Structure 1
Amino acid sequence: MPLTTTGELVARAAAEGRGVAAFNVITLEHAEAIALGAERAGTAAVLQISENAVKFHGGRLAAIAAAATAVARASSAPLSLHLDHVTDPELLRAAHAEGFSSVMFDASKLSYADNVKETAEAVRWGHERGIWIEAELGEVGGKAGEAPLDAHAPGARTDPAEAAAYVADTGIDALAVAVGSSHAMTERTATLDHDLIRSLRQAVPVPLVLHGSSGVPDPEIRQAVASGMTKINVGTALNTAFTGEVREYLATHATGVDPRKYLTPAREAMAGVTESFLRLVV
């Protein structure tokens, strides 16, 4: 199936009052698992490649982007290609050439004024090329290399009035907000602020994005979508499933050397996680 666009998937989900899940791709097996999970769930999904994943591949975007694109085109599920948590302007500019329909430009670590300035420039650049732009306001925290962040700390969460001004001043297409989740959680114990989600939904005219969804329990995710979240990002849950299967195989096959023996169950485990999240948000 031809690639669809993230903008189309998110707009359709928002109009129908449901969510669309976006999954992080690190290896070819991740992309294959996400496509398989989407096919089993009978719904669309977003394949997203983060700046950290690009760094893992030696700073070269082309190969992993081509692999994800090939998997998406071979799938019967509607899939889009998204570049996530981009801070490097050069990587942002590479998105268009590699076929990405959307980018999450992350200037959230800058001052508010600089965040607005840099994001607005990214939006201008992207919109001239038909690229949908997501950005972040607030502190989700938890990404590799960052100090631990209390998602409930004062000032960590996104303020609705500031969010409304930010969207107006930048022209972004979707807003990632801090409402109680955190990146890289391996246990699903996060509690979301659903009153804040509803306030943000009323305050801004663009779809809301939940980062750090791997650490959010199923009922919380369902309620988040009902309260106004649209794009639900999942990464660590895939890696937890992947690593668990690899660890289990190697623990009982100490002399095994064929990676297919453990990558096969690892890929299947990620497909199961993908299907579960997709059924959860729709």
Structure 2
Amino acid sequence: MPLVPVKELLARAEEGKYAVGAFNVNNMEIVQAILAAAEAERAPVIMQASQGAIKYAGIQYIHGLALIAASQSTVPIALHLDHGTSFEQCMQCIRVGFTSVMIDGSKLPLEENIALTNKVIEVARATGVSVEAELGKIGGTEDDIHVDERDAFFTDPEEARYFVEKTGVDALAISIGTAHGQYKGVPKLDFARLEKIAGMIDTPIVLHGSSGVPTEAIQEAIRLGVRKVNIDTNIREAFTGGCRQALENNAKEIDPRKVLAPAREAATQVIREKIRAFGSSGRA
């Protein structure tokens, strides 16, 4: 099955009132874990690459791994650029074969964010690639991108309406209290803000920084209109935990396959749990 645009997956999610899991990839084993989980749950999934993943593995490798996964898959898989930093990077990913890109202009003034987003959309639409944008800053740290808590701010509903009206973007990431990385406490989401934004726009809403958010809160957000949920930290925790456990079981192990295979299985189980929580099991 070829890689599909995120827009298609989110349109079906809107019809079924569930969310599609967007899982960050960093290496072959995590790609395999996402594919195994998606197949086991009969669920559509989004594989996405962050700035750190691109720096570590390279765009060509990430695309190649995702393409192989899709070719072996019987469920829909999309490949998405997470937090694209520039027009040029989005174009590079589109040329390589990504089916979706995020242009993150959230640090820019509103009109500049709109202009940058429209510049990406102009090219992406012509090639059938989906575009996600962000309004409001998501706190925390993800790879090379850091937003201090004092600099993070929630998305203004009226600005969201205006932004969607001026861009027609395919998906909008909003800030309602989540953060990238590991939480120090239990996050409290602004559900009233989410509900208001969802009532003012027709665009699928994206929730970033969802690792560590209680399942009940994620499910409430989905009920209120979130259609794409990003997960990265939970996968890293499971994967590295699997590696540690394998080495603790045999400190003299030198075969990387015997260290990485348990890590891959641990990641698969976490991803399956997320898919079920998002309501996307059996939706392929």
Superposition TM-score tier, normalisation by shorter sequence: over 0.9
Pairing of 1:158-237 with structure 2 (within 5 A): 158-185=155-182, 189-237=186-234
Q: Is the 8 A contact 2:2 2:67 kept in 1?
A: no
Matched, 1:31 2:31: yes
Q: Which whole-Å CA distance do the structure 2 matches of 1:260 and 1:24 have between them?
A: 21
Per-residue CA deviations over 1:213-264 (Å, capped at 9, x if unaligned) read: 1121110111110011111111111000001111222234222211111100
Counterpart residue identity of residue 271, structure 1: T
Per-residue CA deviations over 1:130-186 (Å, capped at 9, x if unaligned) read: 111000000112223455533xx6971001001111111222111000011111126
Q: Is the 8 A contact 1:188 1:214 kept in 2?
A: no
Q: Secondary structure at the match of 1:223?
A: helix
Q: Is the 8 A contact 2:101 2:132 kept in 1?
A: yes
Q: Which whole-Å CA distance do the structure 2 matches of 1:147 and 1:236 have between them?
A: 15
Q: Is the 8 A contact 2:51 2:144 kept in 1?
A: no
Q: Is the 8 A contact 2:157 2:197 kept in 1?
A: yes
Counterpart residue identity of residue 88, structure 1: S
Q: Which whole-Å CA distance do the structure 2 matches of 1:166 and 1:196 have between them?
A: 16
TM-score by length of 1: 0.93
Matched, 1:50 2:47: no
Q: Secondary structure at the match of 2:245?
A: helix
Q: Which whole-Å CA distance do the structure 2 matches of 1:2 and 1:248 have between them?
A: 36
Aligned partner (choices 154, 161, 165) of residue 157 of structure 1? 154
Mean CA deviation greater in 263-272 or 82-91? 82-91
Structure 1 equivalent of residue 282 of structure 2: none
Percentage of identical aligned residues: 37
Counterpart residue identity of residue 92, structure 2: A
Q: Which whole-Å CA distance do the structure 2 matches of 1:186 and 1:255 have between them?
A: 34
Counterpart residue identity of residue 268, structure 1: E
Q: Which whole-Å CA distance do the structure 1 matches of 2:252 and 2:88 have between them?
A: 43
Number of matched residues?
A: 278
Mean CA deviation greater in 217-226 or 162-171? 162-171
Structure 1 equivalent of residue 83 of structure 2: 85
Q: Which whole-Å CA distance do the structure 1 matches of 2:233 and 2:260 have between them?
A: 17
Q: Secondary structure at the match of 1:22?
A: strand
Q: Which whole-Å CA distance do the structure 1 matches of 2:206 and 2:146 have between them?
A: 22
Q: Which whole-Å CA distance do the structure 2 matches of 1:96 and 1:75 have between them?
A: 22
Counterpart residue identity of residue 228, structure 1: G
Per-residue CA deviations over 1:33-77 (Å, capped at 9, x if unaligned) read: 0010111111111111123211112xx311221111101220222
- Relative to structure 1, the CA distance from residue 155 to residue 149 in structure 2 (aligned partners, 3 Å threshold; closer, same or farther) is closer
After superposition, the CA RMSD in angstroms is 1.7
Q: Which whole-Å CA distance do the structure 2 matches of 1:266 and 1:186 have between them?
A: 22
- Relative to structure 1, the CA distance from residue 52 to residue 88 in structure 2 (aligned partners, 3 Å threshold; closer, same or farther) is farther
- Relative to structure 1, the CA distance from residue 34 to residue 137 in structure 2 (aligned partners, 3 Å threshold; closer, same or farther) is same
Structure 1 equivalent of residue 7 of structure 2: 7
- Relative to structure 1, the CA distance from residue 155 to residue 100 in structure 2 (aligned partners, 3 Å threshold; closer, same or farther) is closer
Structure 2 equivalent of residue 242 of structure 1: 239
Counterpart residue identity of residue 225, structure 1: I
Q: Which whole-Å CA distance do the structure 1 matches of 2:48 and 2:265 have between them?
A: 19
Counterpart residue identity of residue 210, structure 1: L
Q: Is the 8 A contact 2:137 2:151 kept in 1?
A: no
- Relative to structure 1, the CA distance from residue 12 to residue 69 in structure 2 (aligned partners, 3 Å threshold; closer, same or farther) is same
Aligned partner (choices 269, 272, 275) of residue 272 of structure 2? 275
Shift of 1:198: 0.6
Q: Secondary structure at the match of 2:18?
A: coil
Q: Which whole-Å CA distance do the structure 2 matches of 1:148 and 1:96 have between them?
A: 27
